[in-house]
Amino acid sequence: MKNTVNSTAVILLALTLAACSRSESPVTTDPVDTTPPTTEPAPATEQAAEPVKPADPKPDTDNTPDNATLAKWMGKWIGVEATYLTIKPADEFYGIELADLDGPKMYKGTGRGDHISFERNGKTETIRATDGDGTGMKWLAGKKDCLVITKESEGYCRD
């Protein structure tokens, strides 16, 4: 009988071990990621670009008036056929008087870099320095100290 007990014990032990090794895990609807987190970055597929350095701040010369240049423009400038341009300093703007054959008209101008801008008839106009040839007007050709608003029709000189 001793052999029967040993045989039965061996069979029970084998069945128990087999049952333990085939244990099923409970069914869940949400899969669980059992992958341990990595601390290494993923390999780069492209070479990283160098960081962009901010541009050096430069003054906006188009909006900062060149006061030394514009101060030289104060006063009266003579055009052709009794036309003239007068520029006067004011608190926050320049007083611009333009006279043509219809008479003088007044405008408010703003210094912007190397020119003065003003609104006339819904359009932004500019007064810029040039010479007589730069006005495009044959009557002012050869002169040295001039201002122009519209080439070939609105030029004014001092010399």
According to DSSP, residue 139 is labeled G
Please determine, for residue 116, whether its predicted confidence score (pLDDT) is greater than 60: yes
3-state SS class at 109: strand
Task: Kindly report, residue by residue over 72-94, the tens digit of the pLDDT.
Answer: 999 999 999 999 999 999 888 99
pLDDT at residue 46, as a whole number: 54
Separation CA 129–CA 143 (nearest Å): 12
Cβ contacts of 51 within 8 Å, gap of 6 or more: none
Pick the CATH number of 67-157 from 2.40.128, 2.40.240, 3.40.1440, 3.40.30: 2.40.128
pLDDT digits (tens, 9 = 90+) for 18-48: 555 554 444 445 555 555 555 555 555 555 5
Q: What is the pTM of this model?
A: 0.60
Q: What pLDDT band is residue 118 in, cutting at 50, 70 and 90?
A: very high
Which pair of tokens denotes residue 38?
A: 């990595």
Q: Write down the mean pLDDT value for the chain.
A: 77
- The two tokens of residue 70 are 């514009």
